[in-house]
Every structure is written in structure tokens, then in C-alpha cells.
């Protein structure tokens, strides 16, 4: 049953309403604060005999004694004179055990719990606890009475599925505190597990849950306290997708984006990244996509086995869901909710992946709110602060050394949905100026059924130089240079293909035709990956390296062909063999036979040197 939150008495009232923007004024000496959460209570004859509704809102701008607040739900029925409750708190999320396997909306309301009590048409104005207040957790203390404590220190742990959930001293603590009392046993999230005191005689009771304002990054606070250290990302995020890991890597703790038009495969690509990436926790933020795609994720994840261990994908996933049909204000807040949850698990020393789909709809929500506030618009009516907002979101990714010496990371990948696939529009351009990996999807490649439809001639990554030491130590000193050679081959092959569109095959030399076929071969057998094949769907790094070595040999060898028909015949046969090789299970006799067949085919076609 839904647990309702207790609120203080009303201290303000509504003085104007414009769509989801409400102007409020205090009733007495209660100052209004920017970013404070308030609750509007609609009243009137049509509400007689009905339960009170508490419409959550956030103060966006304070003007003298009045303030403008964006309401996170429909404002139908809200009128001048309606009462307003001030919470005295910023827009925050609850951080504690029970987050995993849960589907929240953008304000951290547990959707399944609300639906179980109210049905699938969610009512507005219902206040709930984000975390189950009745479930008990086995708490094991890691400190004892008399120990000194500061913000972020580990008080104890509780098991959350297969993870060890660290209960940390509130990040809002200032100064030094001492553990006066700490308990061991099973507790709900609302029971007191520890009591702290400071030198001024103040006491503070702690539960398994703490709250943190979503628009502030957790690490920034701890860095100022000297309790964590931001590190330089130095390892790649292994996704098991060949095109990404080999050609356009993303650093663990780094940031990337996947822009592309409708139907280019963004949803499938981000699903595979979330399923197979080498991370502990996945946060999926649906901040404006169509409801059908979100429903697919919610229904599939609980039934798909987790490739990284026992259980299902949902066991290590948190979904923050605000689709395009949900209130625009909550959509804007949802990405900050997901980021804060990701930072929380990073602070425990876990590797976290956050996928935001799509940041274009999130930016459109900001544009709507900015327009209602009558702010000076920027390009295409987006707010003038769009660029800084996008940078502020992505820059919350990173690697940190936590208070107890562990290393945690938060990798952020955002999908962008530019209208008509126009990469010149403001959201895409601001994102490109922020991220270090750009995986541009092409409608043309999607139409040709190339998957992933990432255009290797548009995409880029700035991480290879940053990750050079890791690749040298784990793969080989010449790995980066060989990848560069293959990118140059793709570029040269594209030039020849364009020339052939004008002149035909007869207009180019046999040598150029061989180059074009080599580039096509590389594209067909290495850059493409079958998302519906049980083997090729995920290529571990060792398997990628083995395949790349053979592809590289083909690309670098000179061939002695008498005609273009012989060139086409050879590469058609080789491509077919490699496709079958990609489908063959690792260590199987089929794979060994195919490798032997490939070597035999190459040997018969290679021209002897000299």
C-alpha cells in the first residue's frame, strides 16, 4: 500500500496560473527560495468530498515577495487562492537500499507501487515514499561507538541482491562527528540505526536512507571535504560491440553520445550497450522517448539473463521513466534524478553506466519552460543557457577514488534525436562540444540494413590518445596505429565508391577497385554486428582482437588479380566465410574449421612478395 508523506501547514498561496507555471506569494514571513520544492493543493466545489491532491512544484525564479514555480503535474483545476505548502527542501532523491530493480518516474515515485494501489492510470497529486518503508534490511556496522565520522564515511553495509550496499554518513554533514550509538540487525529504511554527536553537543539520528538535491553533484561536496578524489579516466568501457571498442572507444567514467534520425537503431544500440558493457550498475533514464520503447525495456529486462553473472538484467538496473506523454517539467528533472542515483552508487566504488534517452526531448522541456518564463531565447528558441546545461549534465560523469580507497566510475551516454537527422541543430552541436565520443547514426546505413548504423566517416573518439597506455599494455603497442590505418582505408574506399557512382567500375583502375572492396569487406565483417544472433551479439575483446588481426592482414596485403570480376569473387567468398566465423561459438570445431578455410583462401590469393 502506498505510504503518504506528511507535510507541514500551508504558508503561501497561488496568485497566477499559466499552463504548468504557477506564481505564488507567501502568506506571512516565510521567504521563498529558488529551487525549493512546494506543494500546491487545488480546492474548489468540484473537489468537495475528494482526497486532497498535493501537486509537486519547484521554484524557478524569485521576484521580490513572489516566485514562479514549475508544476510537475497537470495544473487543471488550479486557481488563484489555492494553498501552497513549502517543504523547505530542494528537489531531492532518497538514497538507500531498494533502488535496484525499481522503475521510478522523474521525481522518484515508484511507478509499480502506485499502479498496484491506483491502477494503471496514475492519479496526480499522490505523495509516496520512494523506497519501501516496510521492507527490512540486514545492517552490519563497520564502525563502533566513539569512532570519528565525517561526510561520506562508511557506517555499515546491507545486502542488496548480489551487491554490498554501503550505508554512508550523510553527504550534508559538516565538520567532525562521533558515533554515540550504532545498532546491528534488521531495520526498515525509517528506523534509526545510528546516532552521532559533535563537539557542540548536537546530535543527529541516522537511518539507512539519506537525501540529496538532484541538481548538485555528490562528488563536488566530498572533494571539498577531502573525502574523495576525481581521477583521470584511463581504461576503456568494454561494450563487446566491435565498432565501439576498436574504432570509437568510450572511457570508463567518460561521456559519449549517439545522435541519429528516427529508425536508425538508437534503441537497439543503447539496449545492447546497457546489457553487455562491463559495469556493475545500469541507470536507464527515459527522459522523453515514446512510451512503447520504454515499455519494451521494462518488460524485457526482468526476463533477460544478466551476461555478467547470475540473475536478470533488472537485478542491477534502475529505470527512471518520463516518456514524451508525461508532464514536461518532470521530464526535465528526470535526467538529474538518474545522475544522482548513479553518483550514489559510484560513491560506493561501483562502475555505473547511465544511458539517457533522449536528451533532445529533455532540452525541449527546458525550451518550453524557458518560453513560459519569457526568457530571452537562443538559437531555435532553446534557452540561451542550453550549452552550459548540457555541459553541466555530462560533466557529472567521471572516475573518483572514494572515502575508503575504492575506485568508482560513472559513464554517461546520451542519445540525441535531432529533427530530420540534422546534426547542425543546437542540441547536437552543444553535445558534440562536450562529449569525447560521437557515434553518429546514419539513415542511409540503416536503410541498407547495416547494424549498428553508426557511420564510421562521421563518428569519432578523442579517447584513443587518453587510453593509449591501456591499449599498449593489454593489446599491443601498434594497436592505435593499425586502427588509424583502417579508418584511412574506409575513407579512401568511400572516395572510390563515390567515383564509381559517376564513372562506373570501368572508370577506375583494378588497384582502386581492390581498395574499395577491402573497405567494403572491413565494413561488412567487422563494423557490422548481428544483434539477433546469440554469438555475434556480443564480441569479447579477445575475440575482437583475433578477428581484427585477420581483417588487418587482408587489408594490408597486395593481391594479384587479373580482373575486377576476380576481385569481386574473392571478396564475396571471404566475406561469407567471415560472416560465418562471427556466428561460430568461441572454441567450437566450426570456428576452427572456418579459420582454416579463411587461411587457405588467403594463401591461394596472396601474391608472393618480390
Q: How far apart are CA 71 and CA 22, in angstroms?
A: 7
Query: Grid coordinates in use for 604?
Result: 591461394
Nearest in space to 241 (alpha carbons), one of 283, 279, 270, 280: 270
- The answer to whether 450 and 528 are in contact (CB under 8 A) is yes
User: If DSSP states are collapsed to H, E and C, what string results for 441-455?
Assistant: ECHHHHHCCCCCCEC
Residues constituting the chain: 610
Q: How far apart are CA 188 and CA 69, in angstroms?
A: 34
Nearest in space to 270 (alpha carbons), one of 412, 391, 389, 390: 412
- The answer to whether 250 and 256 are in contact (CB under 8 A) is yes
- The answer to whether 329 and 386 are in contact (CB under 8 A) is no
Nearest in space to 431 (alpha carbons), one of 466, 480, 397: 397
- The answer to whether 206 and 196 are in contact (CB under 8 A) is yes
CA 393 → CA 229, 320, 385, distances in Å? 19, 16, 12
3-class DSSP state for residue 107? Answer: coil
DSSP codes of every residue in 529-565: --TTSTTTT---HHHHHHHHHHHHHHHHS-B--SSHH
| Residues 6+ away with beta carbon under 8 Å from 530 | 451, 536, 537, 582, 583
DSSP tag of 527 = I
3-class DSSP state for residue 16? Answer: strand
β 21-26/92-95 pair status: unpaired
Q: Which residues are annotated as a binding site?
A: 260-267
3-class DSSP state for residue 202? Answer: coil
Chain mean position to CA 159: 24
Query: Grid coordinates in use for 66?
Result: 513572489
Q: How far apart are CA 236 and CA 239, in angstroms?
A: 9
Q: How far apart are CA 199 and CA 466, in angstroms?
A: 46
DSSP codes of every residue in 32-81: --TTEEEEEE--SGGGTTS----EEEEEEEEETTEEEEEESS--TT--TT
Scan for cell 525509517, then name that residue. Answer: 190
Q: Which residues are annotated as a binding site for ATP?
A: 260-267
- The answer to whether 251 and 393 are in contact (CB under 8 A) is no
Query: Grid coordinates in use for 447?
Result: 536503410
CA trace torsion 33, 60, 18, 125 (10° rounding): -70
Query: Grid coordinates in use for 594?
Result: 572456418
Amino acid at each position: 500500500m502506498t505510504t503518504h508523506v506528511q507535510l507541514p501547514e500551508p504558508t503561501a498561496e497561488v496568485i497566477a496560473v499559466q499552463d504548468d507555471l504557477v506564481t505564488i506569494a507567501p502568506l506571512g514571513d516565510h521567504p521563498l527560495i529558488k529551487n525549493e520544492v512546494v506543494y500546491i493543493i487545488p480546492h474548489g466545489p468540484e473537489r468537495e468530498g475528494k482526497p486532497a491532491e498535493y501537486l509537486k512544484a519547484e521554484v524557478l525564479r524569485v521576484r521580490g515577495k513572489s516566485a514562479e514555480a514549475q508544476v510537475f503535474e497537470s495544473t487543471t483545476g488550479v486557481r488563484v487562492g489555492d494553498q501552497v505548502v513549502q517543504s523547505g527542501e530542494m528537489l531531492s532523491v532518497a538514497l538507500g537500499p531498494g533502488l535496484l530493480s525499481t522503475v521510478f518516474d522523474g521525481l522518484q515515485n515508484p511507478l509499480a507501487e502506485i499502479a498496484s494501489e491506483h491502477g494503471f492510470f496514475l492519479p496526480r497529486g499522490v505523495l509516496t515514499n520512494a523506497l519501501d518503508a516496510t521492507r527490512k534490511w540486514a545492517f552490519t556496522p563497520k564502525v563502533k561507538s566513539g569512532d570519528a565520522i565525517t561526510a561520506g564515511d562508511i557506517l555499515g553495509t546491507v545486502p542488496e541482491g548480489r551487491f554490498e550496499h554501503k550505508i554512508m554518513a550523510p553527504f550534508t554533514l559538516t565538520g567532525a562527528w562521533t558515533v554515540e550509538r550504532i545498532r546491528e540487525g534488521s531495520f526498515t529504511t525509517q528506523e534509526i540505526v545510528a546516532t552521532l554527536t559533535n563537539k557542540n553537543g548536537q546530535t543527529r539520528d541516522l537511518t539507512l536512507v539519506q537525501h540529496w538535491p538532484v541538481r548538485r553533484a555528490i562528488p563536488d561536496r566530498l572533494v571539498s571535504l577531502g573525502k574523495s578524489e576525481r581521477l583521470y579516466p584511463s581504461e576503456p568501457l568494454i561494450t563487446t560491440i566491435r565498432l565501439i571498442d576498436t574504432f570509437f572507444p568510450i572511457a570508463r567514467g567518460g561521456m559519449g553520445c549517439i545522435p541519429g534520425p528516427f529508425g536508425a537503431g538508437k534503441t537497439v544500440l543503447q539496449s545492447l550497450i546497457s546489457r553487455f558493457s562491463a559495469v556493475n550498475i545500469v541507470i536507464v533514464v527515459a527522459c522523453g522517448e515514446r512510451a512503447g520503447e520504454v515499455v519494451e525495456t521494462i518488460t524485457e529486462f526482468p526476463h533477460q539473463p544478466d551476461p555478467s553473472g547470475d540473475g536478470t538484467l533488472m537485478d542491477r538496473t534502475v529505470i527512471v521513466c518520463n516518456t514524451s506523454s508525461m508532464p514536461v517539467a518532470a521530464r526535465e528533472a528526470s535526467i538529474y534524478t538518474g545522475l544522482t542515483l548513479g553518483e550514489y552508487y559510484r560513491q560506493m566504488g561501483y562502475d555505473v553506466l547511465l544511458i539517457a534517452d533522449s536528451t533532445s526531448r529533455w532540452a525541449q522541456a527546458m525550451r518550453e519552460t524557458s518560453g513560459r518564463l519569457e526568457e530571452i531565447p537562443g538559437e531555435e528558441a532553446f534557452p540561451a543557457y542550453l550549452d552550459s546545461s548540457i555541459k553541466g549534465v555530462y560533466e557529472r560523469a567521471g572516475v573518483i577514488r572514494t572515502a575508503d580507497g575504492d575506485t568508482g566510475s560513472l559513464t554517461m551516454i546520451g542519445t540525441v534525436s535531432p529533427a530530420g537527422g540534422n546534426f547542425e541543430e543546437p542540441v547536437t552541436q552543444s553535445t558534440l562540444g562536450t562529449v569525447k565520443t560521437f557515434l553518429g547514426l546514419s539513415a542511409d546505413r540503416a536503410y541498407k540494413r547495416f547494424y549498428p548504423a553508426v557511420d564510421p566517416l562521421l563518428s569519432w573518439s578523442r579517447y584513443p590518445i587518453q587510453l593509449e597506455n591501456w591499449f599498449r599494455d593489454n593489446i599491443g603497442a601498434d594497436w592505435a596505429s593499425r586502427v588509424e590505418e583502417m579508418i584511412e582505408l574506409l575513407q579512401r574506399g568511400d572516395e572510390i565508391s563515390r567515383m564509381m557512382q559517376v564513372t562506373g567500375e570501368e572508370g577506375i583502375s583494378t588497384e582502386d577497385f581492390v581498395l574499395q572492396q577491402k573497405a567494403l569487406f572491413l565494413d561488412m565483417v567487422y563494423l557490422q554486428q548481428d544483434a539477433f544472433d546469440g554469438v555475434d551479439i556480443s564480441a569479447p575483446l579477445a575475440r575482437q582482437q583475433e578477428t581484427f588481426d585477420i581483417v588487418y592482414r587482408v587489408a594490408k596485403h597486395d593481391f594479384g588479380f587479373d580482373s575486377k570480376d576476380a576481385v569481386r569473387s574473392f571478396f564475396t567468398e571471404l566475406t561469407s566465410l567471415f560472416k560465418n566465423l562471427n556466428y561460430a561459438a568461441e572454441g567450437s570445431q566450426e570456428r576452427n574449421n572456418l579459420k582454416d578455410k579463411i587461411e587457405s583462401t588467403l594463401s591461394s590469393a596472396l601474391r608472393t612478395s618480390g
